[in-house]
């Protein structure tokens, strides 16, 4: 996947009019998260979670600022931050996650003889797809429908974590924090100088130059 | 002698208008990302007009200048073309000629300032010539100035309406200049000493308002979120700083025209048939 | 990369740590660190009105009653925000605006709550709402009689038309000069906002299909107002407006309420409405600063929106009222209505960057006012959209089922995506309801269970809208068009108003039939929901209720 917004970094605007003090404090805290610390999940659950996150949102290995998806999920569960509702078919989020990770490992053992994180990526995807389609059968799932967990909890929590991070914002060319300075040009094909410049075929240098000026 | 002074006054008017257009079109076309290459044209032409006008204000020779004259013609043509471009920009959007597009598409009357700069500049050049051409020129310039002021008032009214007249001072530029324009028009049609005096006062007030307007607009910029520190947004989105001085330029032209018309009469009450008399019969 | 400077949190009191509206002052939302004086009532004082909830219903009513000279204490479970200082440009952090305490959802079509429709702030859900401020179609007030579905409201549209005007003036709604539908309305106080590219797509599509469209009337200012700044088009409206351009209850009705002598108590969770042996309400029990309190009042107004209002009434059951307060009809919690919020999405060749500007800058109410060509009752409007990254990713993942590289590829097209989303009328059904679950919250109170299922009419409306919006995108050249079929918005109906005690919970004055000094003033009083966002109607009803209370008081009938 080639870069669509080469050289664009929302953090270049950290000290500009696009960020306010509260935003700086919040993002700094998020960036300071230790990607390896896990206070909610135990070591066994943790490796499975890492593997799941890597399949749901694959990240390039050589990324400068990888998103600590698992760490963000762990922090949310440890700090007991909820969404304000849960599907009646699911247990509360902490219990649901633990059961799902355990069941996923159990499915993996039953089908392939190894734990989930030890599988080939293709087989990991197969298992995840089976969850998504409701085709998992292991008794470890109990009365929790894997399909509902996958859609309403797993996908929801993982993408929320990923797209809460500046690296993800850079990837999609999102303008990022915007207060007090918002946006001026809102028409088709218009960007403010502090927005991401999209690369056009054969004009990568231009986009890179424009993105270097973002600030 | 006197003709030169009026010519220089008119060059000054043209300079003010050209400066206003240069700054305003630079900011607004930058906001429009110069998405059409033609959007560079008013900057170049206004710059030339400004330069020519500044030289004109210093030029005491009693004859017109060929290059200046051509530049003024170019300014008038460019302004007229700008009006067409802006009109197209407004009507091509969803809703066509709608309030929304009048508010937010290209400002419908703004290029007229360049057209006026060109016309007034042309006037400046003509006024340098021997006296027989100046009588008609005086009335013509008064008319141009009055119409120009009215047009500017309409544009101001539109944009202040967009701002919901949230500040009481916003009625000033749509109440004082129309009076000045009306009196100036009256002076052109049926000149008399009293009309001329009132017209002078209101034109001077209009000229001052042009400068005061920049101050008000600067306050308006500071009033937006982030104030002047957020200039990269607020100078573009807030009230246009370079716009109000067009009132000053037009008012000065009106004052020059008044001067020309008054000296033509001297002590004589008789005018002969004016343009207005001709229409009335 | 340059070295990160040491970060210290802004030196502010924490909005969650302890109440801010205390000791004779409340936050001045217009001045950083500023305070406004607030009248305080002592613990043993009996006030005229205690209001539970300070949102579109409760906050508006608190203002109007205080201005009419009544003594008012308004309680809210949420914090008292200072938008200029407290709000970050970050979706995750700003979830602090929502009701994130646990609730259970079930039924055939379990609802999304939290950020979707449930605020927890002084100012209620108007702190995070999308500011769409629309009037009801007049016929909807007599939906059964005139249009053949639902039930009639016990209100006259002509009276409501006046109250809509009052609210629009109070909020300085920025709206179009000519509104294409309905009876003539007075000019909106402020001018409409500029359209962003997403809104232009709606406009072009509407023109191509031959239907009318308009810039949306929005409760965010297009010019300065007092100390509030005009909109900067940062597009983060639904995670909290940091410029005070958004005319939420927090920055409009509540400052007026304080100036008129009302007291607001933030971080105050009401647990129970108390009543005496005569069956009249006497006040409310609430938690604040770790202790239980009781506020005596001659009248109690419940304004907690459509989940917390029935929850509180049911939790206030007693030996005299075993089925909950004001529930002789059995309808408290029933007839829960949402509005269909389905959408059609596509990709454009041009850059859209819909994250700029308020999310719904253009709208068409064509299918609210047209009765031919429909195989369903009711109506819907649709609006342009501008989802922020997390919401958009959730849509692509949970709604569309994408993950892995397919998700990343789609997300990479973020700046080219465009969409149209409905606010569609769902019919009242008794089986859709708010009941009490067995689980308890940290206060020991039973949490709500929210049960919802569409009916056939709802499904037909949804199908029609998806088909039409698809056309509206195809005709402007969008590609990769897909339907988002699982989404709802708003909450209404769980304490409906009506003409008889058997068929409703409150009368036209929002006064409960059973307990004459118990009132309900929020979206739960709607008997039908219409095809427009409810906030303007809720505030209009609150204004009317205040006038009725004033009139009744003058006649000694209060």
In chain B, where the domains are located: 2-267
In a shared domain, residues A48 and A106: yes
- Encode pLDDT of C438-493 as tens digits: 999 999 999 999 999 999 999 999 999 999 999 999 999 999 999 999 999 999 99
Average pLDDT value for chain C: 96
Contact check, Cβ <8 Å, C393/A177: no
Query: What is the pLDDT at residue B271?
Result: 39
By the CB < 8 Å criterion, does B89 face chain A?
no
| Residues of chain B found within 8 Å of residue A183, distances taken between Cβ atoms | 233
Q: Would you call B93 and C200 a contact, using CB atoms and an 8 Å cutoff?
A: yes
Instruction: Tell if the CB–CB gap between C225 and B226 is shorter than 8 Å.
Output: no
β-pairing, C337-340 with C343-347?
Answer: unpaired
CB contact under 8 A, C223 and B166: yes
Examine the pLDDT at C103 and tell me if it is beyond 70: yes
Here the tokens at position C251 are: 């920055």
Residue numbers in B near A182 (CB within 8 A): 225, 233
Q: Are the Cβ atoms of A155 and C403 closer than 8 angstroms?
A: yes
Q: Which residue in chain C has the smallest CA separation from B101?
A: C194
What is the nearest CA distance from C366 to chain B, expressed in angstroms? Answer: 16
In chain C, residues 214-253 whose CB comes closer than 8 Å to chain B = 215, 222-225, 229-230, 232, 243, 245
A50-59, B189-198, C306-315, C386-395, range with the lowest pLDDT:
B189-198
B36 touches chain A (CB under 8 A): no
Gap from B225 CA to chain A (nearest CA, Å): 6
pLDDT in tens, C210-230: 999 999 999 999 999 999 999
| Whole-Å CA distances, B207 to B110, B141, B156, B248, B251 | 18, 16, 15, 4, 5
The mean pLDDT value for C383-411 works out to: 98
Q: Nearest to residue C259, comparing CAs of C63, C73, C82, C46? A: C63
CA of C210 vs chain B CAs: smallest distance (Å):
12
| Residue C178 in contact with partner chain B when CB distance is under 8 A | yes
Domain that holds residue C295: 43-101+114-554
Mutation target to probe the C interface, by most C beta carbons within 10 A, among A11, A12, A22 is A22
Tell me whether residues A178 and C103 touch, CB distance under 8 A.
Answer: no
pLDDT above 50: residue A46: yes
For residues A156 and A181, membership in a common domain is answered with no
> Taking CB atoms and an 8 Å cut-off, how many pairs form between chains B and C?
58
Could you identify the residue written with the tokens 């159990």? A106
CB spacing of B224 vs C232 below 8 angstroms? yes
Report the residue from A159, A186, A189 with minimal CB separation from C194.
Answer: A186
Angstrom distance (rounded) from CA A87 to CA C545? 36
According to the model, what pLDDT value does residue B129 have?
A: 74
Percent of chain C with pLDDT over 90: 97
C67 vs B190, which has greater pLDDT? C67
Q: Are residues A5 and A25 in the same domain?
A: no
CB contact under 8 A, B162 and C191: yes
Who among C92, C113, C200 is closest to A85 (CB)?
Answer: C113
Q: Report CB contact under 8 Å: A181, B35.
A: no
pLDDT(A78) > 90:
yes
Handedness of CA C136, C142, C147, C148 (dihedral sign): positive
The neighbour count for residue C399, using CB atoms within 10 Å, is 18
Residue C53 forms contact with B (CB below 8 Å)? no
Q: Half-sphere exposure (CA, 13 Å, Cβ side) for C420? A: 31
The single-letter DSSP state of residue A155 is I
CA distance C553 to chain A (A): 40
Calpha distance B154→B175 (Å, rounded): 11
- Report yes or no: A117 and A47 within 8 Å, Cβ to Cβ: yes
pLDDT at C1 over 80: no
CB contact under 8 A, C177 and B99: yes
Residue C298 lies in a domain: yes
pTM of the full structure:
0.95
* Cα angle: B112, vertex B116, B117; to 5 degrees: 115
Mean pLDDT confidence for C339-353: 98
Residues A25 and A5 in one domain: no
Residue C144 region, left (φ>0) first, then alpha (ψ -120 to 50), else beta? alpha
In a domain, C533, yes or no: yes
- Flag if B229 and A17 touch (Cβ within 8 Å): yes
Q: Which two tokens stand for residue C79?
A: 């914090």
> What average pLDDT does this structure show over C68-76?
98
**Mean pLDDT within C186-190:** 98
Give the chain C residue whose CA is nearest to the CA of B165: C223
pLDDT band for C5, please (50, 70, 90 cuts): very low
Segment among A62-71, B63-72, B219-228, C89-98 with least mean pLDDT: B63-72
Specify whether A146 is located in the same domain as A103. Answer: yes
Within 8 A by CB and 6+ apart from B166, the residues are C190, C223, C224, C225
d(CA C323, CA C329): 10
Task: Give percent of chain B with pLDDT exceeding 70.
Answer: 90
Of A181, A182, A185, the CB nearest to B33: A185
CA distance linking residue C93 with residue C115, whole number of Å: 12
Q: Are residues A119 and A206 in the same domain?
A: no
- Cross-chain Cβ contact B226/A194 below 8 Å: no
In a domain, C16, yes or no: no
Closest Cα in chain A, distance from residue C103 (Å): 4
**pLDDT confidence of residue C372:** 96
Residue C493 maps to a domain = yes
Chain-chain contact of B163 with C191 (C-beta, under 8 angstroms): yes
Report the pLDDT averaged over residues C521-544: 98
Domain that residue A197 falls in: 1-19+177-215
pLDDT at B64: 73
- Is the CB of residue B230 less than 8 Å away from at least one CB of chain A? yes
Q: Which residue of C has its CA nearest to B162?
A: C191
Q: What total number of domains does chain C contain?
A: 1
CB pairs below 8 Å between A and C: how many?
210
Q: Which two tokens stand for residue C182?
A: 């309905």
φ and ψ of C15, to 5 deg? -65, -25
- CB contacts, 8 Å: B221 with chain C: none
Chain B residue whose CA is closest to C243: B225
Considering only CB atoms, C99 lies closest to which of A28, A84, A172, namely A84
For C232, which residue in chain B has the nearest alpha carbon? B225
From the list A57, A85, A152, the residue facing C398 with the nearest CB is A152
Nearest to C558 by CA among C27, C31, C48, C158: C48
* Residue C98 to residue A164, Cβ atoms within 8 A: no
Closest in A17, A189, A191 to B232, CB measured: A17
Which stretches of chain B score pLDDT less than 50? 266-275, 277-278, 280-281
What residues contact residue C128 under an 8 Å CB cut-off, 6+ apart? C94, C97, C98, C115, C119, C121, C238, C239, C240
Q: How many domains does chain A have?
A: 2
Bridge partners, C214 (sequence order): C363
Partner-chain contact B103 C176, CB within 8 Å = no
HSE at residue B31, side-chain half, CA atoms within 13 A, is 23
Q: Which chains sit next to C, with 3 or more Cβ pairs under 8 A?
A: A, B
Tokens of A94: 């902490």
Would you state the pLDDT for residue B131? 65
CATH of the domain at C305: 3.50.50.60
Q: How far is CA B228 from CA B222, B281, C226, C357, in A?
A: 5, 57, 18, 21
Q: What is the pLDDT of residue C414?
A: 98
User: Which of C6, C393, C442 is best to mutate for the A interface (most A CBs within 10 A)?
Assistant: C393
- C450 to chain A, any CB pair closer than 8 A? The answer is yes
Best mutation target, B92, B229, B232, to test chain A (most A CBs within 10 A): B232
Contacts of B35 in chain A (CB under 8 A): 189-190
Chain A residues closer than 8 Å to C197 by CB: 186-188, 190
Please indicate if any CB of chain A lies within 8 Å of the CB of B132: no
Residues A188 and A108 occupy one common structural domain: no
């Amino acid at each position: 996947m080639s870069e669509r917004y080469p050289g664009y970094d929302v953090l270049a605007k950290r000290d500009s009019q696009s960020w306010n003090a509260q935003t700086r404090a919040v993002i700094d805290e998020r960036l300071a998260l230790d990607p390896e610390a896990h206070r909610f999940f135990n070591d066994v659950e943790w490796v499975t979670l890492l593997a799941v996150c890597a399949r749901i949102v694959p990240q390039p290995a050589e990324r400068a600022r990888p998103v600590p998806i698992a760490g963000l999920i762990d922090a949310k569960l440890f700090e007991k931050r909820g969404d304000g509702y849960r599907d009646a078919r699911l247990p509360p989020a902490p219990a649901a996650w633990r059961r799902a990770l355990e069941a996923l490992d159990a499915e993996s053992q039953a089908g392939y003889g190894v734990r989930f994180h030890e599988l080939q990526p293709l087989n990991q995807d197969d298992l995840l797809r089976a969850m998504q389609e409701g085709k998992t059968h292991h008794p470890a799932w109990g009365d929790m429908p894997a399909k509902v967990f996958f859609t309403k909890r797993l996908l929801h929590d993982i993408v929320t974590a990923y797209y809460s991070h500046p690296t993800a914002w850079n990837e999609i060319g999102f303008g990022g924090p915007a207060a007090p300075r918002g946006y001026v040009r809102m028409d088709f094909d218009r960007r403010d100088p502090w927005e991401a410049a999209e690369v056009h075929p054969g004009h990568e240098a231009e986009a890179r130059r424009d993105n270097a000026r973002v600030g | 002698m006197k003709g030169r002074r009026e010519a220089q006054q008119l060059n000054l008017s043209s300079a003010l208008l050209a400066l206003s257009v240069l700054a305003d079109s630079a900011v607004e076309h930058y906001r429009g990302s110069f998405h059409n290459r033609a959007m560079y044209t008013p900057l170049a032409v206004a710059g030339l007009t400004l330069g020519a006008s500044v030289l004109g204000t210093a030029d005491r020779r009693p004859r017109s200048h060929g290059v200046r004259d051509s530049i003024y013609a170019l300014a008038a043509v460019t302004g007229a073309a700008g009006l067409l471009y802006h009109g197209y920009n407004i009507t091509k959007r969803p809703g066509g000629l709608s309030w929304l597009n009048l508010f937010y598409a290209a400002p419908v009357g703004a290029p007229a300032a360049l057209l006026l700069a060109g016309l007034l500049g042309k006037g400046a050049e003509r006024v340098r010539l021997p006296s027989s051409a100046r009588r008609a020129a005086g009335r013509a310039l008064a008319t141009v100035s009055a119409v120009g002021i009215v047009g500017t008032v309409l544009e101001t009214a539109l944009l202040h309406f967009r701002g919901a007249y949230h500040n009481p001072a916003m009625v000033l530029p749509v109440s004082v200049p129309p009076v000045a324009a009306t009196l100036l028009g009256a002076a052109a049609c049926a000149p008399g000493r009293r009309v001329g005096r009132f017209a002078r006062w209101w034109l001077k007030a209009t000229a001052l308002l042009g400068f005061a307007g920049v101050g008000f607009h600067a306050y308006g910029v500071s009033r937006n979120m982030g104030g002047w520190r957020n200039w990269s947004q607020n100078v573009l989105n807030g009230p246009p700083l370079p716009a109000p001085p067009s009132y000053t330029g037009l008012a000065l032209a009106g004052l020059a025209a008044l001067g020309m018309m008054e000296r033509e009469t001297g002590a004589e009450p008789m005018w002969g048939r004016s343009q207005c008399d001709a229409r009335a019969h | 990369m340059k070295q990160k400077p040491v970060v210290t949190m802004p030196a502010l009191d924490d909005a969650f740590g302890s109440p801010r509206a205390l000791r004779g002052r409340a936050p001045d939302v217009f001045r950083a660190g500023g305070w406004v004086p607030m009248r305080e009532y002592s613990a043993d004082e009996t006030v005229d009105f205690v209001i539970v909830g300070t949102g579109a219903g409760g906050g508006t009513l608190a203002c109007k009653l205080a201005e009419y000279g009544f003594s008012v204490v308004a309680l809210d479970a949420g914090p008292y925000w200072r938008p200029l200082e407290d709000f970050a440009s970050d979706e995750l952090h700003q979830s602090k605006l929502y009701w994130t305490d646990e609730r259970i959802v079930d039924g055939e079509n379990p609802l999304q709550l939290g950020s979707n429709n449930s605020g927890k702030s002084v100012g209620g859900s108007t702190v995070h709402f999308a500011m769409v401020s629309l009037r009801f179609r007049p016929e909807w007030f007599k939906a059964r009689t005139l249009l053949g579905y639902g039930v009639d409201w016990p209100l006259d549209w002509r009276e409501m038309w006046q109250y809509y005007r009052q609210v629009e003036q109070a909020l300085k709604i920025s709206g179009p000069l000519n509104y294409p539908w309905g009876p003539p309305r007075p000019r909106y106080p402020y001018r409409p906002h500029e359209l962003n590219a997403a809104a232009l797509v709606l406009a072009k599509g509407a023109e191509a299909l031959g239907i009318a469209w308009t810039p949306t009337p929005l409760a965010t200012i297009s010019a300065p107002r007092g100390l509030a700044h005009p909109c900067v088009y940062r597009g983060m409206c639904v995670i909290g407006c940091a410029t005070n351009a958004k005319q939420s209850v927090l920055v409009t009705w509540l400052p007026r309420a304080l100036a008129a002598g009302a007291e607001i108590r933030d971080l105050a969770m009401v647990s129970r409405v108390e009543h005496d042996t005569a069956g009249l309400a006497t006040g409310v029990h609430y938690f604040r600063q770790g202790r239980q309190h009781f506020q005596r009042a001659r009248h109690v107004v419940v304004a907690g929106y459509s989940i917390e209002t029935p929850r509180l009434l049911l939790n206030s059951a007693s030996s005299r009222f075993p089925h909950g307060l004001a529930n002789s009809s059995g309808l408290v919690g029933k007839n829960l209505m949402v509005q269909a919020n389905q959408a059609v999405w596509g990709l454009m060749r041009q850059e859209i960057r819909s994250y700029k500007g308020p999310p719904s800058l253009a709208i068409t109410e064509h299918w609210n006012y047209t009765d031919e060509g429909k195989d369903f009752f009711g109506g819907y409007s649709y609006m342009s959209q501008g989802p922020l990254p997390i919401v958009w990713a959730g849509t692509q993942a949970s709604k569309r089922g994408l993950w892995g590289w397919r998700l990343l590829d789609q997300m990479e097209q973020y700046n080219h995506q465009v969409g149209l989303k409905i606010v569609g009328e769902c019919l009242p059904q008794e089986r859709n309801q708010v009941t009490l679950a067995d689980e308890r919250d940290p206060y020991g109170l039973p949490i709500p269970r929210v049960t919802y299922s569409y009916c056939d009419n709802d499904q037909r409306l949804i199908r029609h809208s998806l088909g039409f919006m698809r056309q509206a995108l195809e005709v402007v050249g969008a590609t990769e068009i897909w339907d988002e079929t699982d989404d709802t918005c708003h909450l209404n109906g769980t304490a409906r108003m009506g003409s008889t005690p058997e068929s409703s919970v409150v009368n036209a004055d929002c006064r409960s039939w059973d307990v004459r000094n118990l009132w309900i003033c929020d979206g739960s009083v709607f008997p039908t929901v219409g095809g427009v966002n409810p906030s303007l109607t809720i505030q209009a009803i609150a204004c009317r209720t205040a006038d009725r209370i004033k009139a009744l008081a003058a006649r000694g009938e209060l």
